Structures are given as C-alpha cells and as structure tokens.
Amino acid sequence: MPVTWHEGLIKKIEPIAPDVRHFQVEVPDLESLDFQAGQFITMDLPIGDKRLQRWRSYSIASAPEGDNVLEFCIARSTEGAGTKYLFESVSEGSGLRFKGPEGGFVLPETIEKDLVFICTGTGIAPFRSMILDIRNTGKTYRNIHLIFGTRTESGLLYRAELEQLAREMPRFRYDFALSRQPDGPGYTGYVHQIYQEEYAEVRPDVDFFICGWSNMIDDAVANLMIKLGYDRSQIHFELYG
C-alpha cells in the first residue's frame, strides 16, 4: 500500500516541564484522523537528506476524539537533531509533515484484566492517550495503575491532570517515583520498586504495559518475568520514539 503523508499545522506549543513541550497539531485537510490510543506517527523533519536522518516517531498523547487535532509530548535531547529542530526552528503556525498513525501498542478491545502502566519521562504519552480514551468513551475496565518515573518533581508530566483523573475514575490510581529528589513526594528511587512490591504475588489477571528507554524496558521485563515469574504474554512494551 502507498504511504499517505499528511500536512499538519502546529496550533499550540506549551512548555510543561524543563525541556519538555506539549504540541497540538491540526491536520487542516482532514475532518478527522482516526487512530487507536497508544499509536504513534512518524514525522518527516527537514534535518537531513536521507530517510533515516529525517524520520522521527512520536506517540500520540491525546485520545481519539473524532477530530483533526493530535497532541504530542516531546522532550528535548542534547543529542537529537529532531528535537533540536522542534525546539528551535518551529513555532505556532509552522507546518509538520507526517505519516501514520501506526503501531500495535494498544489496549485490547475488551479490557478483562487489571492494567499496570509503567513509564518514564515522555513515555507517559501513550498512557495519557489510553486513560483519556477509557474515561471519554466510558469503556468498561477493572483497575488501572499508572507508575511514572522521573528525576525530580519538576518533571512530573501532566501531574494535575492525572491527579484529577484519579479523583474522577474510581479504579484508576497514580504513583510516581523521583530518582534524584530524596526529599520529594511520592516514592524515592525508580519505578521498578513500585511494581515489584505491589505485584510480587503473580496473578494471571493483570497485564503490564511499559514505555521508555530500552534499558528501563529491559530491566522491567527481566524483573517481571525472571524475578517475579509473570508470563511473557502479560507484558507489552514500546520503546521511546
């Protein structure tokens, strides 16, 4: 099948943490852009001549709402030409060319197990999409536990929104770990201690979804499968893009 590219227009750029921005992108030529919560798009950025130099994938941070606006949560990387471009060369009103949505990191059609979302940094984006989609559509769910890790309290992305969702959704809860702020709120350390304590007793009725850098994912998969004994079929993950 031929690849369909879309021309997006940046509607809004909002700083939400040090070196993290929330982007709203409209697709003016479409009335709606269908996607599943958890999917990603691939931007073609003018930062090189070859495809591998230009293409950057980002998870959609908004829920599917039948409109033509997508939201993204993007952190600046000191080594990344893509984020350098997005932080230094675009502004509200700039265009962005992209293809997609794509990806199989999505929820099952029928949610029959407890869901544990484990993420660090902007890996929270697909989980924000999933949680908002469940809330907005009134989907039946059991229990949802979001476990988020960052360095300091200033990096708690969407904190107020997630705390509000925890008040609105009776079976959704939100925990976070701060790795470099021992006097801060929440847990001190990394996300791994939280799920290893909470889910130490192996259960068949829980699925783990993990999003972050490869080292974090590798550690989480090893902890869940080898240390705790969960089946591989209960573990789903997506690398940062």
pLDDT per residue as tens, the chain (241 positions):
678 999 999 999 999 999 999 999 999 999 999 999 999 999 999 999 888 889 999 999 999 999 999 999 999 987 789 999 999 999 999 999 999 999 999 999 999 999 999 999 999 999 999 999 999 999 999 999 999 999 999 999 999 999 999 999 999 999 999 999 999 999 999 999 999 999 999 999 999 999 999 999 999 999 999 999 999 999 999 987 4
In the block, tokens 């029928």 appear at 110
Which residues, in sequence order, are bridge partners of residue 98? 6, 43
pTM of the model: 0.96
The structure tokens listed for 179 are: 């790795």
| The amino acid at 174 | Y
Pairwise CA distance, residues 80 & 59, whole Å: 17
Q: Distance (Å, rounded) from C-alpha 161 to C-alpha 176?
A: 14
Contacts of 208 (CB under 8 A, 6+ apart): 116, 118, 195, 199, 220, 224, 230, 234, 235, 236
How many CB atoms neighbour CB 85 within 10 A? 16
- Whole-number pLDDT of residue 1: 63
Fold (CATH) for 5-102: Elongation Factor Tu (Ef-tu); domain 3 (2.40.30)
Per-residue model confidence (pLDDT) at position 3: 83
pLDDT value for 119: 98
CATH 2.40.30.10 boundaries in the chain: 5-102
As a whole number of Å, the CA-based R_g of the chain is 18
pLDDT attached to residue 51: 85
Q: Which residues contact 231 (CB under 8 A, 6 or more apart)?
A: 204, 225
Measure the CA angle with vertex 149, ends 59 and 237; round to 5°: 45
Q: Kindly report, as residue ranges, where domains of CATH 3.40.50.80 are found in the chain.
A: 114-239
pLDDT of residue 139: 94
* CATH T-level assignment (fold) for domain 114-239: Rossmann fold (3.40.50)
